[in-house]
Amino acid sequence: MHDKKLLVVGELNVDLILNGIKGFPKVGTEIIASQMNLTLGSSSAIFACNIAALGVPTSFCGRIGKDDFGDFVKEKFKERGVFSDFLIQDESYQTGLTIVLNYDQDRANVTYCGAMEHLGIEDIPWENLDQFDHLHFSNLFLQPKIRKEIKQLFQKSKAAGLTTSLDLQTDPDSDFDFDYRACLPYVDVFLPNEAEIKGLTGKSSVEDALEELRPFANVVAVKMGQKGSMLFHQGTIIQEEGFVHDHFVDAIGAGDSFNAGFIHHFLAGKPWSTCLRFANLTGAVNTTAAGGTTAFESLAAFQETTKKLFNVNTANL
Q: List, for residues 31-56, the tens digit of each pLDDT value.
A: 999 999 898 989 999 999 999 999 99
Q: List, for residues 102-135, the tens digit of each pLDDT value.
A: 887 778 889 999 999 999 999 999 999 999 999 9
- Give me the domains of the chain, ranges plus CATH numbers: 6-316 (3.40.1190.20)
Over range 7-33, report the average pLDDT.
93
Check: CB of residue 110 under 8 Å from CB of residue 98.
yes
Q: d(Cα 137, Cα 139) in Å, to the nearest integer?
A: 7
Q: Is 309 exposed, middle or buried (0-12, 13-18, 19+ CB in 10 A)?
A: middle
pTM of the model: 0.93
Check: CB of residue 98 under 8 Å from CB of residue 15.
yes
Check: CB of residue 294 under 8 Å from CB of residue 287.
no
Q: Tell me, what's the pLDDT at 2?
A: 58
Q: d(Cα 127, Cα 61) in Å, to the nearest integer?
A: 13
Q: List, for residues 254-293, the tens digit of each pLDDT value.
A: 999 999 999 999 999 999 999 999 999 999 999 999 888 9
Q: d(Cα 253, Cα 293) in Å, to the nearest integer?
A: 8
Q: d(Cα 68, Cα 114) in Å, to the nearest integer?
A: 14
